[in-house]
């Protein structure tokens, strides 16, 4: 799988080039006195983290960032003190290889939940939150679709999905920036009308530096949003299971942290395809990795090809009742809610429903009409559209 997509997108905050800075390997134990007595037995939960990546992580104890505060809460839930291995540049495969897979830490919070990330070498917890690109604009000129962007100057980050997405739309003037900070700055200086940048950072900056002056509209679609989780080396199944067991008790904590760090929580608009061009124009293979797919483990071949084949089947057949691109205002048949509705059982429910139908309720059976592969493709496509549960 090409690495480019994720690497590019994650440069929204720390840049890939930072990965060449050697690990600082500072282990800071936050062991509370209570842990000292049994220090021989209780090993700290070691988290790899970037010391300068707010709103996600920071070595500033008074403002540690979303991921680190969540890590502290996790440590508490597991009865283990938390230690940090600071490593500049949080994301990127090289970082993960050196730190997590190099056994310098036990877990990394906030990795993209996708098999495409590192293949089977990395395993994941259940989903934490959905993160996405957002459209930031003045409150009285809020934009919520690609059409709204026409005639506007839009700040996009170099080599990001939004840059790619808007590249072919001549009616939109692009202002290229190198970071979300710069995107907010050109917006604030009146050099752009809209900033199409990484949401958590935009929300955080809007809250802390811009007095919540700007309206934020979240987006979703291939390469625009992804689900983050805790990542572990594949040998850490036991720890992963412990974390999964602890996560449900941390829902309130997570909601509190989302508010504290200003992460956007609005309902996203879907940006899979612009009105004026075919979807493929915006999604060259390297950009179309289905990063967004939750529960990827159950889909053998969730490739961009599978997603796009599934979309074709869907819009050709299922869309008559479930809406084109699954946009459907009647909740009962809104298939973007499958994940929210069924969670871990989503796959099974889908499979049973499409195979057997629910004839008494108006849902036909499709097993005679489509092959399992086609139904799998539709599933892969639907996964890219799921409404986040936060």
Per CB under 6 A, residues contacting ligand HEC are: 317-318, 320-322, 332-333, 335, 338, 341, 350, 353-354, 358, 361-364, 366, 378
- Cβ count within 10 A of residue 52: 16
Contact 265, 256 (CB under 8 A): no
Single out the residue of 168, 171, 170, 269 nearest to residue 224, CA to CA: 269
Instruction: Between 198 and 379, name the residue whose CB sits nearer to ligand HEC.
Output: 379
Instruction: Between 133 and 366, name the residue whose CB sits nearer to ligand HEC.
Output: 366
3-class SS of residue 136: strand
Contact 334, 326 (CB under 8 A): yes
Instruction: Between 104 and 353, name the residue whose CB sits nearer to ligand HEC.
Output: 353
- Nearest-approach distance from CB 361 to ligand HEC, in angstroms: 4
**HSE-CB for 299 with a 13 A CA cutoff:** 33
Instruction: Between 17 and 371, name the residue whose CB sits nearer to ligand HEC.
Output: 371
If you ran DSSP here, which 8-state letter would residue 13 be given? T
Query: In angstroms, rounded to a whole number, what is the distance separating the alpha carbons of residues 209 and 202?
Result: 10
Instruction: Between 202 and 382, name the residue whose CB sits nearer to ligand HEC.
Output: 382
- Nearest-approach distance from CB 126 to ligand HEC, in angstroms: 20
Write down the residue that tokens 């639907």 correspond to: 382
Instruction: Between 154 and 354, name the residue whose CB sits nearer to ligand HEC.
Output: 354
- Nearest-approach distance from CB 338 to ligand HEC, in angstroms: 6
- Nearest-approach distance from CB 313 to ligand HEC, in angstroms: 6
Instruction: Between 76 and 341, name the residue whose CB sits nearer to ligand HEC.
Output: 341
- Nearest-approach distance from CB 345 to ligand HEC, in angstroms: 10
- Nearest-approach distance from CB 310 to ligand HEC, in angstroms: 9
- Nearest-approach distance from CB 145 to ligand HEC, in angstroms: 26
- Nearest-approach distance from CB 339 to ligand HEC, in angstroms: 10
**Token pair of 45 as six digits:** 């939960």
Instruction: Between 102 and 357, name the residue whose CB sits nearer to ligand HEC.
Output: 357
- The CA angle 142-146-152, to the nearest 5 degrees, is 65
CA distance readout (Å), 361 to 190, 334, 365: 54, 15, 11
- Nearest-approach distance from CB 227 to ligand HEC, in angstroms: 19
- Nearest-approach distance from CB 385 to ligand HEC, in angstroms: 12
Single out the residue of 339, 330, 323 nearest to residue 384, CA to CA: 339
Query: In angstroms, rounded to a whole number, what is the distance separating the alpha carbons of residues 142 and 14?
Result: 28
Instruction: Between 14 and 386, name the residue whose CB sits nearer to ligand HEC.
Output: 386
**HSE-CB for 124 with a 13 A CA cutoff:** 22
Single out the residue of 80, 72, 390 nearest to residue 252, CA to CA: 390
Instruction: Between 125 and 295, name the residue whose CB sits nearer to ligand HEC.
Output: 295
Contact 386, 299 (CB under 8 A): no
Given phi > 0 = left and psi -120 to 50 = alpha, else beta, which region is 328? beta
H helix or E strand, kind and range, residue 372: helix 372-383
Query: φ and ψ at 169, to 5 degrees?
Result: -95, 100
């Amino acid at each position: 799988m090409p690495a480019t997509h994720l690497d590019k997108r994650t440069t929204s905050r720390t840049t890939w080039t930072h990965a060449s800075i050697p690990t600082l390997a500072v282990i800071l134990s936050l062991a509370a006195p209570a842990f000292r007595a049994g220090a021989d037995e209780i090993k700290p939960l070691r988290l790899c983290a970037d010391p300068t990546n707010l709103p996600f992580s920071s070595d500033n104890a008074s403002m540690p960032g979303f991921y680190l505060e969540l890590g502290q809460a996790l440590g508490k839930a597991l009865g283990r003190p938390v230690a940090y291995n600071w490593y500049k540049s949080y994301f990127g495969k090289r970082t993960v290889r050196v730190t997590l897979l190099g056994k310098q830490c036990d877990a990394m919070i906030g990795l993209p939940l996708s098999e495409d990330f590192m293949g089977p070498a990395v395993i994941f917890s259940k989903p934490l939150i959905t993160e996405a690109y957002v459209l930031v604009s003045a409150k009285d000129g809020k934009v919520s679709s690609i059409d709204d962007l026409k005639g506007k100057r839009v700040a996009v980050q170099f080599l990001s999905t939004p840059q790619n997405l808007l590249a072919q739309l001549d009616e939109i003037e692009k202002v290229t920036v190198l970071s979300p900070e710069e995107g907010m700055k050109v917006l604030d200086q009146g050099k752009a009308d809209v900033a199409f940048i990484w949401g958590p950072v935009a929300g955080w900056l809007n809250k802390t530096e811009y007095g919540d002056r700007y309206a934020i509209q979240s987006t979703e679609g291939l390469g625009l949003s992804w689900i983050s989780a805790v990542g572990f080396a594949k040998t850490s199944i036991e720890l992963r299971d412990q974390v999964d067991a602890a996560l449900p008790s941390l829902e309130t904590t997570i909601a509190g942290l989302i508010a504290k760090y200003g992460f956007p929580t609005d309902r996203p608009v879907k940006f899979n395809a612009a009105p004026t061009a075919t979807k493929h124009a915006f999604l060259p293979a390297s950009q179309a990795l289905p990063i967004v797919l939750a529960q990827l483990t159950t889909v053998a071949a969730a490739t961009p090809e599978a997603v796009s084949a599934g979309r074709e089947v869907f819009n050709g057949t299922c869309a008559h009742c479930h809406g084109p691109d699954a946009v459907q205002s009647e909740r009962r048949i809104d298939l973007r809610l499958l994940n929210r509705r069924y969670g871990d059982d989503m796959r099974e429910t889908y499979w049973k429903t499409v195979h057997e139908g629910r004839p008494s309720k108006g849902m036909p059976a499709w097993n005679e009409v489509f092959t399992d592969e086609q139904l799998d493709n539709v599933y892969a496509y639907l996964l890219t559209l799921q409404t986040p549960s936060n």
